[in-house]
């Protein structure tokens, strides 16, 4: 009887010890232990922290490789339970923020419900960090290439459409949200972006204007450009014309360049003044009609034949020096042809000497003799030298340096003497004398051989003086002069763009390629685009600035090829 009681007591104690072990002897190093504790509100904060530590340790041991088998095994255990906890709610602010940060760091597509919730439940000042983490997850995962969940796509646009930069507490969230929307780039964003572009801008309210121009409409333009969403072309032309949206013009033109055929059609209609909606916007400008120059410049950047014809027509009706100057300048962006050159010189004569134009930064004639070199026609060298020699008044300071530089770029071997004589006669032409000294040898060596000039653009460029790049610039100019109709010369220049890091020299080579491709060149465009993309990591601010022109030439080459 006593033994039976002892046995019973031992059995009870064993049961109690087993229960204690279940409660207190769990394996603290097993992620599953902490996953179970997520369901206990009192243990949840600690569980989130511990699971975060598991993930950080795993990533450290895997050299930050999320595809490492051990990391993948961990994610299989924790991602879905953590996502469930976040979407269920009932979390304090600190735990909720830490939980979403952990989920975002996993970059696992199964966190989509949590990302959608973070975006949809954005509260200014309270959940900015969560939107930031969710945005970074979208960016890291490559946007719509991974995040195919419609709820995330819609939720991201939802937070973007109501987010106000003027109320943001951190600039980081502004950039992250902007980048996430762009990298998501869902086709469903096209119509929504157009709606954003239609909004009016109240410049009297600085915060509201900043929200509209620098965030919503700027991003909307970038989205339609990326999507090549052609229904946005007409709203983009309206953006281009609207005075209150002037800060967006350059970006709008870039977007139009990505949809050249549709853009060309609408820009021509706007320039002709036959559309009531466009005309209503244009009426805001008054009698000077500066919108004519804005539209002409956009057409020239696209550089299709229809645009050239529209500009020639507009020039015949232009009445202000500003419009005439800008439209004439725009003609040099098209492949050179007699009708364009003729209109250019007629316009030049119509503009009175010493006329200043704000949009070209000073004297109109000086701006035009500078632009004239891009007709790549040495026959105008004598005219350039006469203009430099006879300039009077305010033009005597502004015009000669530009006219002489254009003459140096265009001079042939038979024109060397007349150019050097003109340069020597001008006591102020110190820079031009240096330019001539560097340009003349390559002309004497290559004479009329386009292939020789194309090879010469590979010449090394010293870091100083400022004119050290003139040998390469001259070689690029003459390759365009003598290489017309030659695919091999154009292809040789394309191969040499990347190695040339001097901004001025690179620009000269790219402009020569542009001139040598009257019907476009998609292969050259791809090469130029790859160069621009590779340069993004260079940190060379001057090179990146020139690459903006390189990118536009690439788009122009595609536009002509369509």
What are the sequence ranges of the domains in the chain? Answer: 352-428, 443-562
What's the pLDDT score for residue 1?
A: 45
What's the pLDDT score for residue 11?
A: 54
273 vs 260: CA distance, rounded Å: 20
15 vs 198: CA distance, rounded Å: 73
Provide the Cα torsion 58, 64, 67, 70; round to 10°: -20
What's the pLDDT score for residue 5?
A: 58
What's the pLDDT score for residue 19?
A: 45
Spell out the alpha helix ranges (H) of 303-351. Answer: 305-317, 321-330, 338-350
What's the pLDDT score for residue 12?
A: 47
468 by Cβ neighbours in 10 Å (0-12 / 13-18 / 19+) ranks as middle
CB 35 within 8 A of CB 51: yes
Q: Count how many residues are written for the chain.
A: 562
What's the pLDDT score for residue 542?
A: 82
| Prior bond of 465 cis (ω within 30°) | yes
What's the pLDDT score for residue 145?
A: 65
CB 553 within 8 A of CB 510: yes
Tokens of 347: 């316009």
What's the pLDDT score for residue 143?
A: 72
7 by Cβ neighbours in 10 Å (0-12 / 13-18 / 19+) ranks as exposed
Per-residue pLDDT tens, the chain, 562 aa: give them.
Answer: 444 555 555 454 455 444 444 445 578 889 999 999 999 999 999 999 999 999 999 999 999 999 999 999 999 999 999 999 999 988 999 999 999 999 999 999 999 999 999 999 999 888 999 999 999 999 999 876 667 789 999 999 999 999 999 988 888 899 999 999 999 989 999 999 999 999 999 999 999 999 999 999 999 999 999 999 999 999 999 999 999 999 999 999 999 999 999 999 999 999 999 999 999 999 999 888 999 999 999 999 999 999 999 999 999 989 899 999 999 999 999 998 999 999 999 999 999 998 999 888 899 999 999 999 999 999 999 999 999 999 998 899 999 999 999 999 999 999 999 999 999 999 999 999 999 999 999 999 999 999 999 999 999 999 899 999 999 999 999 999 999 999 999 999 999 999 999 999 999 999 999 999 999 999 999 999 999 999 988 878 888 888 999 999 999 999 999 8
Eight-class DSSP state of 335: P
Question: What CA–CA distances, in Å, run from 114 to 15, 197, 518, 558?
Answer: 42, 30, 52, 41
Tokens of 491: 């292809």
């Amino acid at each position: 009887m006593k033994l039976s009681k002892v046995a019973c007591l031992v059995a009870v104690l064993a049961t109690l010890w087993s229960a204690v072990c279940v409660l207190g002897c769990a394996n603290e190093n097993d992620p599953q232990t902490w996953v179970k504790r997520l369901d206990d509100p009192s243990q949840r904060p600690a569980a989130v922290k511990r699971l975060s530590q598991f993930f950080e340790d795993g990533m450290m041991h895997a050299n930050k490789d999320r595809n490492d088998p051990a990391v993948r095994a961990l994610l299989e255990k924790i991602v879905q339970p953590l996502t469930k906890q976040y979407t269920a709610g009932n979390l304090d602010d600190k735990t909720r923020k830490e939980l979403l940060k952990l989920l975002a760091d996993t970059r696992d597509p199964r966190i989509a419900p949590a990302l959608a919730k973070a975006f949809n439940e954005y509260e200014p000042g309270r959940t900015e960090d969560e939107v930031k983490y969710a945005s970074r997850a979208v960016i890291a995962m490559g946007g719509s290439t991974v995040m195919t969940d419609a709820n995330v796509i819609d939720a991201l646009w939802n937070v973007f459409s109501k987010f106000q930069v003027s109320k943001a507490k951190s600039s980081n969230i502004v950039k992250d949200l902007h980048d996430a929307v762009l990298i998501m780039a869902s086709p469903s964003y096209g119509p929504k972006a157009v709606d954003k572009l239609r909004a009016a801008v109240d410049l009297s309210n600085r915060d509201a204007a900043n929200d509209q121009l620098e965030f919503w409409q700027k991003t909307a333009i970038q989205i339609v450009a990326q999507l090549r969403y052609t229904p946005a072309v007409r709203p983009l032309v309206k953006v281009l014309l609207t005075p209150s949206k002037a800060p967006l013009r350059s970006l709008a033109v870039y977007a139009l360049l990505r949809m050249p055929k549709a853009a060309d059609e609408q820009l021509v209609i706007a320039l002709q003044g036959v559309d009531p909606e466009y005309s209503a916007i244009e009426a805001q400008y008054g009698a000077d009609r500066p919108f004519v120059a804005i539209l002409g410049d956009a057409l020239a950047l696209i550089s299709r034949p229809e645009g050239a014809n529209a500009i020639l027509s507009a020039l015949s009706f232009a009445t202000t020096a500003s419009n005439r100057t800008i439209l004439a300048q725009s003609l040099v962006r098209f492949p050179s042809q007699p009708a364009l050159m003729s209109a250019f010189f007629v316009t030049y004569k119509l503009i009175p000497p010493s006329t200043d134009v704000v949009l070209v930064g000073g004297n109109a004639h000086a701006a035009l003799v500078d632009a004239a070199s891009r007709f790549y026609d040495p026959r105008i060298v004598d005219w350039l030298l006469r203009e430099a020699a006879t300039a009077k008044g305010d033009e005597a300071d502004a015009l000669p340096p530009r006219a002489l530089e254009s003459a140096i770029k265009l001079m042939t071997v038979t024109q060397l003497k007349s150019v050097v004589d003109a340069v020597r006669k001008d006591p102020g032409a110190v820079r031009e004398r240096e330019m001539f000294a560097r340009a003349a040898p390559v002309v004497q060596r290559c004479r009329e051989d386009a292939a020789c000039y194309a090879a010469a653009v590979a010449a090394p460029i010293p870091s100083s003086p400022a004119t050290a790049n003139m040998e390469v610039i001259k070689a690029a100019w003459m390759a365009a002069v003598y290489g017309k109709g030659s695919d091999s010369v154009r292809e040789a220049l394309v191969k040499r763009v990347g190695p040339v890091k001097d901004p001025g020299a690179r620009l000269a080579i790219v402009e020569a390629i542009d001139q040598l491709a009257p019907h476009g060149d998609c292969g050259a465009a791809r090469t130029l685009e790859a160069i621009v993309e590779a340069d993004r990591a260079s940190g060379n601010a001057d090179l990146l600035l020139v690459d903006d022109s390189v990118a536009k030439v690439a788009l122009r080459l595609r536009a002509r090829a369509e």
